[in-house]
Amino acid sequence: MATVHLRIGDLVWGKLGRYPPWPGKIVSPPKDLKKPRGKKCFFVKFFGTEDHAWIKVEQLKPYHPHKEEMIKINKGKRFQQAVDAVEEFLKKGKGKEQPASSMETISKRLKIIEEDTGSTSIQAADSTALNGSITPTDKRIGFLGLGLMGSGVVSNLLKMGHVVTVWNRTAEKCDLFIQEGARLGRTPAEVVSMCDITFSCVSDPKAARDLVLGPSGVLQGIRPGKCYVEMSTIDHETVTELSQVITSRGGRFLEAPVSGSQQVSNEGMLVILAAGDRSVYEDCSSCFQAMGKTSFFLVGEVGNAARMMLILNMVQGSFMATIAEGLTLAQATGQSQQTFLDILCQGQMASSFVDQKCQNILQGNFKPDYYLKHIQKDLRLAISMGDSVNHPTPMAATANEVYKRAKALDQSDNDMSAVYRAYIH
């Protein structure tokens, strides 16, 4: 293979960690940023983002010869925006200094919008890595749980320069993140004792309780001033219990469940709902910017974020079951499922969620983006929450039965769109 010679000013495709190749430009590094030892590398500023990094020469390809290849294998709105930014740069002339409008998106500082309504109010923060530059906190970050959601979160924390210590029940899952620069914690207690702020993201209420209260658990590492952020989607009773035991040891507690999927997590575009200690929320600002496009602080008691997240997932789960029902009814009545989808995506219900899930169903691709067993868990918890306040949830209850049928058909570890199979078996 011919040797490719690169130099400052060249446009390239750069591969950073687990992320797909991204268009960038080789630039001079800041004077205070030392070049890594070892293999030859270049400092690359990526288009359409605030990201920049040292990239090994074997992870770089010249932009023009590989443009068509990369466009074919990469998709997504952010990727297309980055390619558009390159083309705009080229139109203005390679020899000119790149304007901020094409190399960088407009910075947005964290904004808090307060509503004094006398009840639970929402305070929104436009704080995404896509929308602005991130200065990572100097606090040491811990992360417990490297599942579908947690893996993307940790990758983005590392990518944005945070110092992160990780732990996972299956230790092998930590290896990739160690290669990307994370530190390894042997137990949850050790991670909490080593870090200033520790996040957790696990599957269900039992796993969340075991992580805190079990052997070598979080509670054993909590000291006055240590922060614990519960990101799991669980019921408000469990999150209230965890808050009480953490604060009883002098710890600071925040609940911050996230709305999204594996793909959304990988893209750093989660929606974060938070409640609890407002000062912890503010301390987590750079972390939330790295992992999400928007964060909300819900005023009031701990548990409000858990309640809101369950309502959101109840709606999403019920909607997914209805979409699957429509696709199967179309087939049963001799209608084209693809035509049904085409019409649906031209109407008021059009969304990337509908398009992606329906395409997965038509292609028979049920690789998990959000586990079916987890959305059924969320439906169950939402129904229970409705029972606790004597509020009817008939649509969610019906959807829950369909998901239970899908679980009986061994679809638990498939994507939530596999609820489709409950209608055809």
- Is a pLDDT exceeding 80 seen at residue 371? yes
The full DSSP string for 354-408 is HHHHHHHHHHT----SSBHHHHHHHHHHHHHHHHHTT---HHHHHHHHHHHHHHH
Contact 265, 258 (CB under 8 A): yes
User: Which spans in 249-393 are helix H?
Assistant: 262-266, 278-283, 285-291, 304-332, 337-344, 352-363, 372-388
Range name among 41-55, 106-120, 202-216 with the lowest pLDDT average: 106-120
Residue 339 CA neighbour count, 13 Å, CB half: 6
Q: Which residue has the higher pLDDT, 332 or 68?
A: 332
- Is a pLDDT exceeding 70 seen at residue 17? no
The sign one gets for the Cα dihedral 95, 96, 101, 103 is: positive
Range name among 56-70, 288-302, 324-338 with the lowest pLDDT average: 56-70
**75: confidence class by pLDDT, cuts 50, 70, 90:** low
Kindly report whether the global pTM for this prediction surpasses the value 0.85.
no
| Residue 82, pLDDT score | 85
Range name among 130-134, 189-193, 411-415, 417-421 with the lowest pLDDT average: 130-134
Contact 239, 255 (CB under 8 A): yes
| Residue 41, pLDDT score | 84
Q: What is the Cα–Cα distance from 390 to 304, expressed in whole angstroms? A: 18
DSSP 97: P
| Residue 19, pLDDT score | 67
Q: Which domains does the chain have, with CATH numbers?
A: 10-91 (2.30.30.140), 124-302 (3.40.50.720), 308-422 (1.10.1040.10)
Mean pLDDT, range 18-44, rounded to an integer: 78
